[in-house]
Amino acid sequence: MYLIQFIRGFCMALADSVPGVSGGTIAFLLGFYDRFISSIDDLLTGGKEKKKEAFFFLLKLGIGWICGMISAVLVLASVFESHIYAISSLFIGFIVFAIPLVIREEKETLLAKKAAIPFVLVGIAIVSLITYFNPASGGSGVDLEHMTVKLGVLLFLAGAVAISAMVLPGISGSTLLLIMGLYLPIVTAIKEFLHLNMSVVPALFCFGFGVLFGVFGVVKLIRKALENFRAQMIYLIIGLMIGSIYAVIMGPTTLDVPQSAMTLREFNILFFAIGAVVILGLQKLKTQKEG
């Protein structure tokens, strides 16, 4: 059971580390999302026994997540900017093939509440508007080694928003960081910290504090929303995922040296197919476990 939780956490980290689908989506596809959210909530507000059970579940998951995140960051910081269109094609593969799986998993809930379909449009609009009006797109890079109060506040807010997205099965926190022009700076800062460059610690502290604030603030809200408005939430999540395709396409404009948005000419079908294989493989892993 420990190995299964480790693999789950590892896969969630790989998803969280790249723009595309979130770790929450992976948890959803592998069939343990509700337990994941409940465990975080129980760890924060549950009784003694629930806290203990939640702690050990999240510990096993967390060890895999940390290993996956470190592995991903060490690779991503060096290849993301130089192979942006191939990586973006991979992200789109994740999203496109995850959407029908989410729909299939929640088919009964969605069919029972067809009146909630407009929430798909709300999700699309949220991501598209954030992407379109993002002031960082095409702007200058962010230097996390030279902190200012304004940058610290921005990192705190980015951490809170990103972790909120990461625990939702929909748009990933990394996609939101990409939209804000902070994805590559954060990934690079984590890599520098792993190489013992302490100059990035203040920036990572602000970002990490925002992450903790987001976890405490959003998890109970998500749990209640899924319990009481599940169909609306799932339709919203589907909309967020569809909208995030546009965010990934525009991702190259947020680089330190901005590049043009991805077009069909830059689209890499091989990496798109790899993304599809990864998502379908995760679903197969869940099917075999249930069998």
pLDDT mean for each 10 residues of the chain (291 residues): 77 73 74 82 82 89 87 72 84 86 87 92 86 55 76 88 74 75 82 85 90 79 83 89 84 75 92 89 68 49
Q: What is the pLDDT of residue 140?
A: 45
Spatial separation of the C-alpha atoms in residues 64 and 59, rounded to whole Å: 9
Q: What is the pLDDT of residue 15?
A: 73
Q: Which amino acid is at 245?
A: I
Spatial separation of the C-alpha atoms in residues 285 and 4, rounded to whole Å: 10
Q: Are 26 and 15 in contact (CB under 8 A)?
A: yes
pTM metric for this prediction: 0.73
Spatial separation of the C-alpha atoms in residues 38 and 274, rounded to whole Å: 32
Q: What is the three-state SS of the chain? A: CHHHHHHHHHHHHHHHHCCCECHHHHHHHCCCHHHHHHHHHHHHHCCHHHHHHHHHHHHHHHHHHHHHHHHHHHHHHHHCCCCHHHHHHHHHHHHHHHHHHHHHHCHHHHHHCHHHCHHHHHHHHHHHHHHHCCCCCCCCCCCCCCCCHHHHHHHHHHHHHHHHHHHCCCECHHHHHHHCCCHHHHHHHHHHHHCCCHHHHHHHHHHHHHHHHHHHHHHHHHHHHHHHCHHHHHHHHHHHHHHHHHHHHHHHHHCCCCCCCCCCCCCCHHHHHHHHHHHHHHHHHHHHHHC
Q: What is the pLDDT of residue 287?
A: 66
Q: What is the pLDDT of residue 231?
A: 92
- The span from the first CA to the last CA of the chain, in angstroms, equals 16
Q: What is the pLDDT of residue 232?
A: 93
Q: What is the pLDDT of residue 139?
A: 41
> What's the half-sphere exposure (Cβ side, CA atoms, 13 Å) at 196?
0
